Chains A and B, each alone.
Chain A
Amino acid sequence: MKIRIRFSKTEDLRFISHLDVMRYFQKALRRAHVDISYTQGFSPHPVMSFASPLGLGQTSEGEYVDIEVGSSQPSAQMVERLNAVMAEGIQVLGFRRLPDTGKTNAMATIAAADYQVWLQPEEWVPRASCLGYWESYLAQDAIVVHQKTKSREADSDIRPLIQEAQWREDGSFFLRLAAGSDRNLKPEAVLDGFFLWLEEAGALPQGQKPALRIHRLDLYGEQDGKRISLEDFGEDMV
């Protein structure tokens, strides 16, 4: 049966790469004696697929890995078993069974991601005096940013990919951004664009960009035109 595991990545574990997380889970699942299914062949490896990789240095409470198992205990017990062998910075939050049929692959179903972002130091961009710029930044018809990927470099409009954006009273930003393999927007791009906007308005001295502390809250997929958390594609086993 197919299982979706939701986990967090926090504290010092934010310094380990996506590749290291994948290796970490292979070992953790063995330590917890999860009855995971293996590929065939001479060097069988566990069947697992991870959702959207998280950038180095970022934390999250909405990470996902799908696995296949031959047997399982109820969800609550599996969560407990896994957390007994986890590092402090990675906690298993859910262990749910996915429907056997239908398009459920974690990476393929992703449509959006929620982030919370803090500025460091905050006082470089005071909310009280800059909130107006934030609103005018978002009110643009198009937000054209220069983006570099491994293969290409181009100007693109990110405005349609910002589904929700708020600058909260606690000073943090809440962002709901398009995510997934074809249309993916990183929270850094939204804030870098904002800093540029501030610079152009003379509200931020050149070169004095605050650092970003980025936390992913959850990943979402789409089903029948509705946005649902990746976790809710599965059901708790009782």
Chain B
Amino acid sequence: MRKLALSEDILLQAEKPARYTGGEINAVIKDREQVAVRFAMVFPDVYEIGESHLGMKILYHLLNARPDVWCERVYSPWMDMDRQMREKGIPLFALESQDPLKDFDFLGITLQYEMCYTNVLQVLDLAGIPLLAADRGEDMPLVIGGGPCAYNPEPLADFFDLFYIGEGEVSYDALLDGYKENRARGGSRQDFLRKAAEIPGIYVPSLYRPEYHEDGTLADFVPLCPEAPRKIRKVIVSQMDEAPYPLKPVVPYLKATQDRVVLEIMRGCIRGCRFCQAGMIYRPVRQKSVGKLLDTARCMQDATGYDEISLSSLSSSDYTELGPLLNGLLSECRDRKVNISLPSLRIDAFSLDVMSKVQDVKKSSLTFAPEGGTQRIRNVINKGLTEEEILSGAAEAFRGGWNKVKLYFMLGLPTETEEDMRGIAELAEKIAKCYYAEVPKEQRKGKVQITASASFFVPKPFTPFQWATMETEEEYLRRARLVKDTFREQLNRKSLHFQYHEADVTVLEGVLARGDRRVGAAILEAYRLGAIYDAWSEFFDMEKWREAFRRTGVDPDFYTRRPRQAEELFPWDFIDIGVTKRFLRREWERAMEGLVTPNCRESCSGCGAAVFGGGICHEN
């Protein structure tokens, strides 16, 4: 029997003790004496969120496939446990062995959103690992970051020994082998870091020095040793069918946010929406085959016992074999009483037919993401969804019995006018009208319910909008109120609901997303002032961040409000995602002209992702 890190007493006081006890079905237990490398994989948020994340599961699986490595899981202790551990001096531990993180060789931290940055520091702090990489001695674990936020690692550069740029399937073997060799040779931490810098996709921040112009913009990004390449190209899987996939994922006892089999059907997206970072960094589009997916689904159901399966991709409707895949899944799932959930499907006759087979029409709602309120702004963002498509999809759905619609929008997009803002309410109104026109009075089951929600746009690195200027908090709120007022003017206002996100978080996310190495000081200060769980509105406290910016002399406006020139060197420009800066700039200019760029299936726009030699760029 494993010895738990926390006493019974402490566990029974915790809100959910099962967050800390591990031992779930399919958790991997190895003999700590028999492995050469111990790897702790961290998701810096609460258990139920982290345990739902596909990337964690993939890495856990592929690292544990090596007999010489034991990979374990770590999540942020929830606030109640955070307090207990600090008070009682209990070091943070990994779930499987319950051993303290300090005993590990690697701490791999996945960076899925900017608002988890203070939780990264929480994890290091509770583990007793110095927050600054420069302060870590020879016996401390190596801290490596990965995930989408690693595409601009600079704000976190001081806290990490390494970053992994790209998909985990590719370079971990080389990294772990290099680590073992270095240790066998008696090499130092520094020796290993230099060696690691030569591995494709690995970035060692301490081997680079940023230099700045007088106006504060980046002048140069200088490698400090011959091992550190000037450009670091992301690494990606070229053959999805051959990539390792977790057929026996951990099955949590607690209800995780994603409590089902997750079937990744493809990576990348053909669409090229200009605000979307995922759409650029995961290029090119690569698909798995139907046969492979059906086998995978079967194995995963047998190994987990889940009664629901969900397709995962950035845009499932663009999977070219969607019909055969769904038919295959449907016939199998019917026998097994398994539900299929279909997020990110474009609403049309085909998808509605499928949905009516797998969901209860009366209870489910339809989701559209027009993102912008007018055709003009949708062209600016290159969202290839027209009003006609939305209305005909809605009409079809209403005839099929649905009467709940969710709409997602963004406010604060580049070039946005008041007409675009009002267009949000007007589009919602048109959909409501469509319901009353399509469904005869005697067939209606109550009012149509249309819920529109707006988030505020945050420009992200490696998107055509990386040059965009953000608005102030007050301006975001003014725009949101204008939309709200327009909703009140609509004839069918009783069927319409409008909600919007917090504006202060948006501005902060903007600073962290396009920040440089100097922003790290503010993150550290905010954490010291008590900022933690910033992604949770009940804990987020902008005042702490404002104070941290004041104390460290970091000016948020420099990162959010300053116009960026075409030729400006960005902190993330040393990373090569395949997609070129030239292409991104061209897309920015086309956006300003309101020109739509065709998607990857219609025609190739020469973004640069073809250098990887795989995926859609090389089909036919």
Q: Which residues of A contact B (CB under 8 A)?
A: 11-13, 15-17, 19-20, 23-24, 26-31, 38, 41-45, 56-57, 85, 87-89, 211
Contact = CB atoms under 8 A, between A and B. Distances in A.
B305 A87 contact: no
Given A15-B18, A42-B359, A56 B12 contact: yes
B21 A27 contact: no
A43 B18 contact: no
Contacts of B254: 16, 20
B24 A26 contact: no
B11 interface: yes
A123 to B, nearest CB: 17
Given A17-B18, A27-B251, A87 B25 contact: yes
Nearest to A15: B17
B330 interface: no
Contacts of A26: 305, 307
A35 to B, nearest CB: 11
A16 B302 CA distance: 23
A45 B302 CA distance: 17
A12 B23 contact: yes
Contacts of A56: 12, 17
Given A26-B305, A57-B8, A88-B23, A38 B255 contact: no
Contacts, number: 76
A41 B360 CA distance: 9
Nearest to A32: B305
B9 interface: yes
A24 B301 contact: no
Contacts of A27: 25, 251, 304-307
A43 B339 contact: yes
B158 to A, nearest CB: 37
B253 A24 contact: yes
A57 B12 CA distance: 7
A15 B11 contact: yes
Interface centre among B302, B305, B360, by most A CB within 10 Å? B305
B441 interface: no
A129 to B, nearest CB: 26
A211 B339 CA distance: 44
Contacts of A57: 8, 11-12, 17
Contacts of A87: 23-25
A31 B305 contact: yes
A31 B303 contact: yes
B4 interface: yes
B225 interface: no
B1 interface: yes
A159 B571 CA distance: 74
For chain B, the bracket of interface size reads 20 to 34
B337 interface: yes
A215 B60 CA distance: 35
Q: Which of B1, B22, B359 has the largest count of A CB atoms less than 10 A from its CB?
A: B1
A29 B253 contact: no
A183 to B, nearest CB: 27
A42 B360 contact: yes
A96 B363 CA distance: 38
Contacts of A19: 255
Contact of B305 (A15, A30, A42, A89): A30
Nearest to A56: B12
Contacts of A24: 253
B2 interface: yes
B194 to A, nearest CB: 42
Contacts of A20: 18, 253-255
Can you list the 7 inter-chain pairs with the closest CB atoms, starting with the nearest?
Answer: A27-B305, A30-B305, A42-B360, A15-B17, A31-B305, A16-B253, A20-B253
B198 to A, nearest CB: 43
Interface in B304-329: 304-307
B458 to A, nearest CB: 36
Contacts of A16: 17-18, 21, 253-254
Given A30-B305, A87-B25, 7 more contacts: A13-B253, A15-B21, A17-B18, A29-B305, A31-B302, A31-B304, A85-B25
Contacts of A43: 339, 360
Interface string B228-243: 0000000000000000
A28 B305 contact: yes
Nearest to A39: B337
A3 B438 CA distance: 50
Given A12-B21, A17-B18, A38 B337 contact: yes
Interface in B1-60: 1-2, 4, 8-9, 11-12, 16-18, 21-25
Contacts of A41: 360
B343 to A, nearest CB: 17
Nearest to A29: B305
A29 B25 CA distance: 13
Interface in B264-320: 301-307
A65 to B, nearest CB: 15
Given A17-B18, A20-B253, A23-B255, A89 B23 contact: yes
Given A27-B306, A29-B305, A211-B9, A44 B21 contact: no
Contacts of B336: 30
A4 to B, nearest CB: 21
16 contacts: A12-B21, A15-B12, A15-B18, A16-B17, A17-B18, A20-B255, A23-B253, A23-B255, A27-B307, A28-B25, A28-B305, A29-B305, A31-B302, A31-B303, A88-B1, A211-B8
Contact of A30 (B17, B18, B21, B307): B307
B287 to A, nearest CB: 29
B539 to A, nearest CB: 24
Contacts of B18: 15-17, 20
A15 B253 CA distance: 10
Contacts of B255: 19-20, 23
Contact of B2 (A12, A29, A45): A12
Contacts of A11: 1, 23
A85 B26 CA distance: 10
A27 B304 CA distance: 7
Interface in B333-368: 336-337, 339, 359-360, 363
B399 to A, nearest CB: 19
A89 B27 CA distance: 14
A45 B509 CA distance: 42
Contacts of B24: 87
A12 B363 CA distance: 38
Q: Which of A19, A42, A88, A89 has the most CB of B within 10 A?
A: A42
Contacts of B253: 13, 16, 20, 23-24
Given A12-B21, A30-B305, A44 B251 contact: no
Contacts of B339: 43
A19 B252 CA distance: 13
A210 to B, nearest CB: 12
Contacts of B307: 26-27, 30, 45
A30 B301 contact: yes
A38 B9 CA distance: 39
Contacts of A23: 253, 255
A127 B473 CA distance: 68
Nearest to B17: A15
A12 B25 CA distance: 13
A16 B22 CA distance: 11
A61 to B, nearest CB: 16
B370 to A, nearest CB: 29
A41 B362 CA distance: 12
